[in-house]
Structures are given as structure tokens and as C-alpha cells.
Structure 1
Amino acid sequence: MTSLLVTGGTGHLGRPTVIALRAAGHEVKVLSRRAGPDRVVADLTTGEGLAAALEGADVVVHLATSLRGKDAQQTRNLLPAAAGVKHLVVMSIAGIDRIPLGYYRAKLEVERLVEESGVPYTIQRATQFHALVDRVFAAQRYLPVVIAPKMMMQPIAAEDVAARLTELVGEPPVKGRAPDIGGPERLSVPELAHLWKRAKGSRRPILGARLGGKVFRAFANGEAMVDGPAYGRITFAEHLG
């Protein structure tokens, strides 16, 4: 049995990952700013409590993320406290070195920090989650149409990513990037929108749109997808139920 600490364990990916790790027989604790069952209290943003929180942990699964630009600083705080662990598994995103998004640049910085830390590590990149695609469409609920950029995606279920992270925990550190993983389907965003519309019972028309700029051009060129066979099994339609 391996003693694990999971950062971001209460998030969209963290919850199924904690479940999968425990089902595999690991002893899992979740890093949190709030006390609770099987939680250890510490603050990644300030670094307060991290050294004590990581005492006794063999493996750290680093899933914490923030859209407010805190990812790099949180990782800088985590790494000194994780100096004695046997394996640091870090979640990242496919295509971040090819798509000029600020959030992706922060993820690249996280990867660089981990690579230079001296801690035995594995970085796992995955394509965008089904839930993100779902939220993008749902956020347009007040529009008369569903805008769907004409670009390809390969979304993956959080549960499938959780399964892969659980596999990595049981393996030696790669000391680099594990092969990128993606979902079972490559679909255009308009195709995904039609699946979403059917599942939600929406009557709004789908508006396929060609958007300008380097970011959308990179997505349109397939930079967010992965090569090789798909890892994920759960389709977008199955995610929607």
C-alpha cells in the first residue's frame, strides 16, 4: 500500500482520481485549506503547512490548478516540501507548447519547475475534459444560437484520466513526460455541439464559426489533439448521459 497525498483532490479531476486510487488499495489523503475526513490542511498559495502535510507521503499527485495565474507559485511552494517523496505525478494539458494561451504558458512553467526540481517525477498531459466542452456550450444559454468554432477536438472524461493517473502511481517515475492521452473520438466542435444539443433537448440552432487569431488557428490545426491510439473510453455523448 502506498501513502499518497493529492493536491486538488476536491476538484473535477481530483474527485474521481481519489476514488480510483483508493479502489486500487492506496492510502490517500487530500490536501485542502479546510479540515475534513482524510484531509490534511495546508495552503499551496502561501506554502503554510505544506512541510507537515507531506510528512510520510510516498507519492504526491499534483492536480491543483487555478485560472487566476497561481499554478506556478503553488508549484514553487510544493516542490521544497516534496523533496523527499519517491514520485511526484503532475497533471498537464496536451498542446500547451503549441497553443499561445496564458493559462497554457503557466502550465508550461509548472512543467519546467518540476523538471528542474530534482524530485522524481512524471508529467501526464491530457486533452480537454468533456466537462469543459459541456460548460462552454452551457455558458451560451442566453444566446439565440449555440456558437461552435470550426475546429477539431479530442475531449476526454475525467474518469479516464483518473484511471491513467492511478496506473502511473503504480509505476516508477518516468523522469519526464508520459505519452499524452486523449479521448476516444476526434470531432469538430459543431459535431460536439449537436451531441450536446440533443442531450440537453435544446432547440437553438448551431452556428459554425471560423474564428481568427493564433489561439483558434492552433486549435483548428489540431494542436490540442494527441498522436497514437486513444486512451479514453468514455465518449462525449456518454458523458452527457
Structure 2
Amino acid sequence: MTATTTTILVTGGTGTLGRLVTERLREEGHQVRVLSRHTQPYAVDLREGGPVLDTALDGVDTVVHCATTLGGGDEKAARVLVDAARRAGVRHLVYISIVGVDRVPLPYYRAKLGAERIVEESGPGWTILRTTQFHDLVLRVLEALAKTPVMLVPSGTSDQPIDVAEVAGRLCELAVGEPAGRVPDMGGPEVRTFTDLARAYLTATGRRRAVLPVRLPGRTAARFRAGGHLTPDRAMGRTSFEDFLAARAGEPRAGARTRRSA
């Protein structure tokens, strides 16, 4: 990484990913401002913008855009941020997106793809990184599915979860570098069926549940079964789902596993 100190704004800087990006950039000696809806002094709803956003961007060299909302509004937020960044003379805008946003017709994915296009047309230099789903998200899904005596999981569907800390490290590398456009995707170390992931979760938590694969209807489910959200050729992560679960339980992490199942 470059030794040059820069002023960097991290949107969504209190979230799962943004917090780690912020911590790492500060450890490297950069001046980092955190923007989120509820954190002072830069409490901003990016869908609305306003004077506080302009103040947050004043003197900023690079923006790492981690803020997102499952309820919609990512495109509007991206446009508001891009317009403000252009006014402030920001040199570099880094955006984190998701593998498959151009292949899986999920409304949230379509919004992320729209935000990508806004960033690409922004004017400042830009970098976009797409990654697979974080371990944390897969865990939340499995926790919800395990609330019933039988875990119903999507049949014929795999995932390629990645450790959020590894994504944060890659984003920091990109943030302190030159604008690079759309960089290669970044995926977790293993492609795993949901049935396999569910059983790994049950083993790690000591729960007893029957796991029942269920075929989900619809075009979106079909695209997930076809692997539209996977990038097996870009398996850059090192931390397996079992490593992640062990770390959450306070156990030492083992080396990343090499098993791969489709």
C-alpha cells in the first residue's frame, strides 16, 4: 500500500463492513471520516443529502461507499453522493457491490446494479468491487431457518460466502490506490450447497434439526440455482464458513478448508 496519507470518507462507516474499513484505514495512518444516518458529526441520510454531506466531503480525496439499504434507495443515495462528490472535487470513488447483480433479477440486486452505473458515470475516478455474500449474512439466514424443527433450505442452490474482514482489506487496498474501474470479482474460498452450510451451522451450534431441501419457484430462484451469484474462478477468500463459526464461538481459526461442492 502507498505510504501517502489521504483523507477518506467511508459511508456506512458504522456497519458490518464499513466499521472494519474505517478501523484499518486509520491504523494505516489515514484521516478517516465516518458518515452514517445516526453518527455525529456527519449524520446524513444519503437519500436526502444536505449541507452536512457537503461538509463531510470538504477536503476529501477518496470516498469508500459502503452504505446500503435493503429497503431500497441505493440508486438515489448513489446519485446524491456522486453529485456532492463532484462538487467537492473528490478524486476517487470506491463502491462495493455484489457478484451477480447483472444476472439475478432480485430487486435489491437491480438497485445495486443501478448504483454501479451511476458511479461509472460520476465524473471522478471510480473503482467497483463485487464480492459474494458475507459469512454474517449466511449465518443470519440459517439462524432464521433453524427456528423451526425442520430447516427448509433451497434445493439445488449453493453459496460462496466470504469473510467480511477480507473484503475490508481489499477495499482498503483499492481506496489508497489509483482509480481502477471495475476490478475482478472476489469470492469466498468454497462453493457450498445450502444443505451443506446448514449442516455445518447445526454442527457448530450443537443443534439438532432435520434439513429438508425445497425447490423454490420463480425466475430469481432459478438464477440462484444456476449460480448467477457465484464466482468460482475468483475464489480469493481464505476463511471457510467453519472457520467463521469457530471464531464467533471464541475458538481459534483453523486454516481455510479446500473442500468444494457445487
SS for the counterpart of 1:206 is strand
**Contact 2:36 2:67 (C-alpha < 8 Å) held by counterparts:** no
* 1:60 corresponding residue in structure 2: 63
Task: Point out 4+ residue stretches in structure 1 off by more than 2 angstroms.
Answer: 32-36, 39-43
Q: Which amino acid aligns with 1:30?
A: V
SS for the counterpart of 2:233 is coil
Q: Which amino acid aligns with 1:67?
A: L
Q: Which amino acid aligns with 1:136?
A: V
Aligned-pair Cα RMSD in Å: 1.3
Q: Distance in 2 between matches of 1:74 and 1:154?
A: 28
* 1:47 corresponding residue in structure 2: 49
Q: 1:73 to 1:198 in 2, by over 3 A?
A: same
Matched, 1:7 2:11: yes
Q: 1:195 to 1:227 in 2, by over 3 A?
A: closer
What does 1:200-215 align with in structure 2 at a 5 Å threshold?
200-215=205-220
Q: Distance in 1 between matches of 2:227 and 2:24?
A: 30
Deviation, structure 1 residue 227: 4.4
- Listed as ranges, the gaps of 5+ residues in structure 2 are 247-262
- Listed as ranges, the gaps of 5+ residues in structure 1 are none
**Contact 2:33 2:56 (C-alpha < 8 Å) held by counterparts:** no
* 1:169 corresponding residue in structure 2: 175
Matched, 1:129 2:131: no
* 2:30 corresponding residue in structure 1: 26
* 2:101 corresponding residue in structure 1: 96
* 1:158 corresponding residue in structure 2: 164
Task: Write out per-residue CA displacement over residues 174-207 of structure 1, whole angstroms, 9 at most, x where no aligned residue.
Answer: 1x21101000111111011011111111101111
Matched, 1:82 2:88: no
Q: Distance in 2 between matches of 1:99 and 1:106?
A: 12
Q: What is the identity percentage for the equivalent residue pairs of Structure 1 and Structure 2?
A: 48
Q: Distance in 1 between matches of 2:232 and 2:205?
A: 31
Q: Distance in 2 between matches of 1:65 and 1:35?
A: 15
Q: Distance in 2 between matches of 1:195 and 1:23?
A: 34
TM-score of the aligned structures, taking structure 2 as reference length: 0.87
Deviation, structure 1 residue 73: 0.9
**Aligned residue-pair number:** 238
Q: Which amino acid aligns with 2:9?
A: L
Q: Distance in 1 between matches of 2:112 and 2:35?
A: 20
Q: 1:153 to 1:33 in 2, by over 3 A?
A: closer
Q: Distance in 2 between matches of 1:121 and 1:33?
A: 24
Deviation, structure 1 residue 35: 4.2
